[in-house]
Amino acid sequence: MINTYVYDQNGKRTKDKKIIAGSAVGCYSTLIFVNNRPLIMIGKNKFVAYKNVVGVDCQLKHNAYIYSSKGNRRKYSGTLHNKGYVTVYGGKRKIKNSYYYSIGVGLFVKAGNVKVPVVKIPSGNGQAAPDAGSNETSTDTTVSVNVQ
């Protein structure tokens, strides 16, 4: 749901164009880990970062406004209320000396308003969770990844 680059199975960026936020991407169930970073397969030897495609549900610490990609408050988007949930994509992004999380295409909330959990990622084929630097795929286990 945010712009993302395409990587190969070794975690190196390919020469393919980046995938623009909001465009449809067909994902296979293959999930690999490169340097303890989860990547999802979108084609033959083409992967994208897990956190850029799959959203994480986060609870709001207090009321929050919605901001544009330029850091300006969107006056007609309303207010997200305390203890409500939003889906964030990717990591923090710095806009005008403040940090924001993406909640949609061109929509952001201030990072201080969001309580981000450690995410359990379901993975591959019954093997143990991969070690750092491993390219192994696993299915029945879960791996904790901090989204920040």
Task: Give the per-residue pLDDT at 89.
Answer: 87
Mean pLDDT, rounded, for 41-45: 86
CB proximity list for 95: less than 8 A, separation 6 or greater: 67, 69, 70, 71, 108
Lowest mean pLDDT among 25-34, 115-124, 139-148: 139-148
Mean pLDDT of the chain: 78
Strands (E), the chain: 31-34, 37-43, 46-49, 56-60, 64-65, 79-80, 85-95, 98-104, 107-110, 114-115, 118-122, 142-146
Lowest mean pLDDT among 83-92, 111-120, 133-142: 133-142
pLDDT band at 121 (very low <50, low <70, confident <90, very high): low
CA angle 36, 143, 24 (to 5 degrees): 80
Task: Give the per-residue pLDDT at 72.
Answer: 92
Task: Give the per-residue pLDDT at 21.
Answer: 79
Per residue in 21-32, pLDDT tens?
A: 777 778 776 778
pTM above 0.75, yes or no: no
Rounded CA separation 21/10 (Å): 24
